[in-house]
Structure formats: C-alpha cells, structure tokens
C-alpha cells in the first residue's frame, strides 16, 4: 500500500506556504545537480519555491556542494541508497508547497517551465498531475509520456524493436496540451490534494514504473494527468543510472531494474492473463533484440557496444546471472 502524507491541505491553507515544493533525489550526479539547481531558480518567475535535495549516499560530494553553493536548499542525507520512490517520499513528507515537483538531478528547466505547469494545474482543477515536454541535450524530443499496458504500448514496443529508436508519438510535435496515461517521473508535478487522496509513491518500486503507478491510482480516483508541452525541460537521460556497476544501460534504462518494477506494476494492477501476455511480448522482444545484436557483434566496429547489449538481454532472459560473463567466440575480422 502506498505511503500517506502526514498533514492535510486544510491545515496548510492561508499559512503562506510555497507555491511549489521541488524534490530532487540525487545519487552521484553532482556535475548535473548544480546546473539543475541553477535552472530551478532561474525559471521560477513569480512562484515561491521550496527546494529539497534527498541524497542517496552519494560519494561524489553532492551534499557538500549543495550546502556550500545553495544555502537556501534543504539537504536530506541518507546513509544508504534508498531508491527513487522512498527518497522522493522523504522529500514529499518534509515539504509544504501547494504543488509538488519531482525532478531528476540530470535535468535543466527552461525559462517559464515551472510557471506553465502551475498555470495548467490552476486552470484545470480536475488535473492531478502534469508533465513537460522533454528534450535531449542535442535538442531531440524525448518520450515525455507513455501508455498503460495495452495495444498502444505494444505498438510502441514494436516500433522500438524495428527501428532501434523510441517511438515518436505524433502528438509530441504539437504544443497543445493533452490528457495522457502517465508522464515521466524525471519531471512530474502533482497537486498536493491529489496526493493526500491517493497516497505517496509505492515504495516497493526501487526505480521505474512508480510514476505510472501513481498516475493510475490518480485516474482511479477521477484525477487526470496531462502532458503540457509549453513547459520544456532538457533531460540528460540516464546519467545517474549509468554509474550503476552491476547493471547495463540500454536507451538510458537499467534493464533489470525496469523489468523488476514492471513485474510488480502488473501484479498490482492487472489480472494474470495480462501479466502473462506482457511477459511473453517482452521476452519475445528481448529474444529478437538479442539475435539482432548477436549479428551486429560480428562487425568489429560495433563489437564493444553489442557485447554490452547482449549481456543485458541475456540477463533479462535469465540466461546468465549478474556475476557471469557472456562467452562469445572470437570471430574472424
């Protein structure tokens, strides 16, 4: 069951609370965190902010940097890496703002990004959560929202396998807001009232899928989730995750952590036959990708990347354990 917030909106009414509480969960992302915090304070406009950094036992001096360069930011330091959901809940419980923004440290808010999200929530009282348009560091449009398991998510998966790229929804080209199933947790603003009704992030998710779970719980309580493309954010996708020593990163995703969280999301919300079908489809995609990258591995120029991806898919399919290596013969160049 999701954790609850301690105090109610009524208790905080008319007490001069901040417009937005920004919770940033950090793990060894010092070089991005500083730029992220600068962008936060440069994009707030007329909004009053409360900023909390929850540091998950970073070893790169992140907490000291924040304390030294951003004295107005509250730092909550954990002795261990508590994961994305638990650490965000720590920050949310310590926050007081009318709206809560969950923000990754490897993001940069463009001018006006915060104001656009707040304006949309204030103009649409049925909106429980909103998210911005996400760009990569080269200006490319990233997936800013996604679908719950079903035909649309299946189509997206097929496109990824066939093209090697994320499926680009045609709506991403438009600047018109639209209702979506869920928006990414890299930058997710949620109404405090809505959180108090449905509860905080489910701490059984270490990372990935926790925002989908939250948005699904919001929908079941008649709250809507919107993609607001006028609000724009740069995301250096997966830069913190890339430092994990026992996982392989694909498309900015730690594949094994993603799979574990997906399994819990499905078990929590869907019947057995849906979970079985989803697993079959994912394993099929993994097997096809494994075959494709095994062929790519025969090309000397791509061998190193191919070996890493082969290992990741072999782990996902249960063909090897984390401590094992993929044994591949040396091909003739």
Domains of the chain are 9-239 (3.90.550.10), 249-316 (no CATH)
How far the first Cα of the chain sits from its last, in Å, is 55
Span 28-45, mean pLDDT?
93
Long-range contacts of 3-10 (CB under 8 A, 24+ apart): 3/89, 3/199, 3/200, 3/201, 3/202, 3/203, 4/196, 4/199, 4/200, 5/92, 5/93, 5/192, 5/195, 5/196, 5/199, 5/200, 6/93, 8/196, 9/192, 9/193, 9/196
The whole-angstrom separation of Cα 326 and Cα 293 is: 13
Backbone angles phi, psi at 225, to 5 degrees: -115, 135
The whole-angstrom separation of Cα 214 and Cα 63 is: 28
Helix (H, G, I), strand (E, B) or coil at 102: strand
Instruction: Say what the pLDDT of residue 13 is.
Output: 42
Cβ neighbourhood burial of 3 (10 Å; 0-12, 13-18, 19+)? middle
Per-residue pLDDT reduced to its tens digit, 276-323:
777 777 777 777 777 777 777 777 776 666 666 666 666 555 555 544
- Closest by Cα among 226, 155, 157, 186 to 88: 186
Question: Which spans in 133-241 are helix H?
Answer: 151-163, 192-198, 210-220
Cβ neighbourhood burial of 124 (10 Å; 0-12, 13-18, 19+)? middle
* Beta-bridge partner residues of 100: 21, 190
Per-residue pLDDT reduced to its tens digit, 74-100:
999 999 999 889 999 999 999 999 999
Residue 328 pLDDT exceeds 50 = no
Residue 156 pLDDT exceeds 60 = yes
């Amino acid at each position: 069951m999701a954790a609850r917030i301690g105090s109610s909106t009524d208790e905080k009414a008319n007490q001069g609370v901040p417009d937005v509480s920004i919770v940033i969960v950090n793990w060894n992302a010092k070089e991005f965190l500083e730029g992220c915090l600068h962008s936060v304070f440069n994009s707030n406009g007329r909004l009053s902010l409360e900023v909390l950094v929850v540091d998950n036992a970073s070893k790169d001096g992140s907490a000291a940097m924040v304390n030294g360069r951003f004295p107005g930011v509250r730092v909550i330091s954990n002795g261990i890496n508590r994961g994305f959901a638990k650490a965000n809940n720590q920050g949310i419980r310590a926050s007081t703002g009318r709206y809560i923004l969950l923000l990754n440290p490897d993001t940069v808010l463009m001018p006006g990004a915060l104001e656009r999200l707040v304006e949309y929530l204030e103009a649409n009282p049925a909106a429980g959560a909103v998210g911005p348009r996400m760009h990569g560091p080269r200006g490319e449009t990233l997936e800013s929202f996604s679908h719950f398991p079903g035909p649309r998510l299946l189509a997206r998966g097929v496109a990824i396998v066939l093209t090697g790229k994320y499926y680009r929804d045609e709506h991403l080209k438009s600047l018109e807001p639209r209702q979506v199933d869920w928006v990414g947790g890299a930058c997710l603003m949620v109404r405090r009232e809505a959180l108090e009704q449905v509860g905080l992030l489910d701490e059984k998710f270490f990372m990935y899928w926790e925002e989908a779970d939250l948005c699904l719980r919001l929908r079941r309580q008649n709250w809507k989730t919107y993609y607001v493309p006028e609000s724009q954010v740069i995301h250096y996708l997966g830069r913190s995750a890339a430092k994990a020593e026992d996982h392989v990163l694909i498309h900015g995703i730690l594949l094994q952590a993603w799979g574990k969280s997906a399994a819990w999301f499905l078990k929590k919300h869907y019947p057995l036959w849906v979970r079985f079908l989803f697993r079959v489809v994912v394993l099929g995609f993994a097997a096809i990708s494994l075959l494709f990258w095994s062929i790519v591995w025969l090309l000397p120029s791509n061998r190193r990347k191919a070996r890493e991806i082969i290992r990741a898919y072999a782990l996902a399919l249960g063909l090897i354990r984390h401590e094992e290596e993929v044994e591949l013969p040396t091909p003739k160049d």
